Amino acid sequence: MNRNVIIDAPTSTVGTLFTEKPMLSFKYIDLFSGIGGFRVALDSLGGESVGYSEIDKHAVETYKANFNDPDHHELGDVTQIEEIPKSDLMVGGVPCQSWSVAGQMKGFDDPRGRLWFDTIEMVKKSKPRAFMFENVKGLADPRNANELNLIIRSFEEAGYLINYKVLNAFDFGCPQNRSRIFIVGFQNKYKRHFSDFAFPEPQEHTLSLVEYLDGIEKEDVKKKKFSVDELFDGKVPMSRNSFQKHDEVNDFFVLCDTRNGHTTIHSWDIRETSDDQKAICMAIMKNRRKKRYGKYDGNPMSFEDIKELYSRAKIKDIESLVEKKILKFNDEGKIDLVHSKNSAGVDGIYRVYLPNSEIFSTLTATGTKDFVAEVYVHADTVEGYKQKFIDEVLKKGKLRPVTPKEAHKIQGFPSDFVIHEKDKHANKQVGNSVAPPVVKAVAEQIIRTGVFTN
């Protein structure tokens, strides 16, 4: 790489995370190392790398730009390694697309899923006292129970005691909803140490996305409380997650034409539409999933269907909405939403997080349709909050994607980490990477058992 990009992480979290006195010295091997997320954490704890394996040349460029090894201990393709150094600890983020929902959960039917068996072979050859491997939480999905059990059984047959848990990076100081399964193993002869091991508990912290964003001033936002009736018409949706409070408006907005909610923005909210046109769109949105219109989760409807739902509907309004790219006709002449999938977003945007949000969405190697607002939104009513967002953020274009520099901060990399000079590689690399603060928390628990000192 010809130029270095240095990221400046908030001193309250990431900036001080990897500057503590090392706990002790131990040797480790890093499989599927990527840009070195595991290494960032392990070196801070006194670890010494004796080898790493990575086949993506651009990731290797970033790795070498950050870690000053004389020979870099480069092991190459994990499927081709014949000799591997001895180590106290083996770690790795086994390629995970095979087990992710986005990757259609093909598991061992995907060659990438079979890399688990190469990983197990590396453990057999190096015989580390302990290991730690990370994967997407989809591996822990009940649909993959047989595969996970096979992986665990294979490690047990190799002479290891196994524990695993799904951990979220948010709980360890990263402003990101990133859940991953961590599989930890100890050699059978370290049974006492294994019995002393426990996964780390979530850490207490207060996060604000603005601390990780450049060019946006921090502002003290006092959130108004609302009743369940005001927010949800009396019934809290099952879809709300642990990051969404039942008495506050969300600190992010979703651009989606197939669902409704107090921070859901539809294309007909943004574009110039009449009251009748808005009513037509709402009628379609609320009824297109009903079985009377088809067998799918969302079904095209005839004009007669729409007229039955909204008697004031006129064909000229339908045609106008088609011109505005809100509705479309299918090959059978039926009418549907242009943005007909939940995650399709509107005009390439799905979620927009406000600067005061505690969290950002999961960073992925393929990128995201999620943006950040460059201004804050204040209002005394739910409807006012939504309209202010439309007027002050969407219509004025006060939103943008996170930069690669910011993404590395959000992932938990330290302030002096060098990122790739090309954005497309930097974004892919951080999306593929493990979150160093989570690795550090798990590794500390392994070290505390004394497995590396006896």
Query: Cα–Cα distance between 272 and 269 in angstroms, integer?
Result: 8
Name the residue among 441, 417, 451 with its Cα closest to residue 34: 417
Contacts of 103 (CB under 8 A, 6+ apart): 96, 97, 110, 138
Whole-angstrom CA distances from 207 to 177, 229, 356, 439 are 12, 28, 9, 19
Torsion region of 294: left, alpha or beta (phi above 0 gives left; psi -120 to 50 gives alpha):
left
Q: Name the residue type at position 420.
A: H
| 3-class secondary structure, 46 | coil
Residue whose token pair is 């706990």: 23
* Beta strand 418-419 pairing with 5-6: antiparallel
Of 96, 174, 256, 281, catalytic: 96
Tallying the residues shown for the chain, one arrives at 454
| 3-class secondary structure, 89 | strand
Q: Tell me the torsion sign for CA atoms 221, 15, 8, 348.
A: negative
Residue whose token pair is 């909204």: 310
- Token duo for residue 275: 């009251």
- Token duo for residue 296: 């799918």
Q: How many helices (H) and strands (E) does the chain have?
A: 15, 15
Query: Cα–Cα distance between 196 and 448 in angstroms, integer?
Result: 8
- CA geometry: angle 97, 99, 105, nearest 5 deg: 100
Q: Tell me the torsion sign for CA atoms 94, 99, 100, 102.
A: positive
Query: Cα–Cα distance between 369 and 351 in angstroms, integer?
Result: 7
96 catalytic, yes or no?
A: yes
Cβ contact 426:404 at 8 Å: yes
- Token duo for residue 281: 């769109």
Query: Cα–Cα distance between 213 and 263 in angstroms, integer?
Result: 22
Query: Cα–Cα distance between 38 and 98 in angstroms, integer?
Result: 21
Contacts of 387 (CB under 8 A, 6+ apart): 379
Catalytic residue numbers read 96
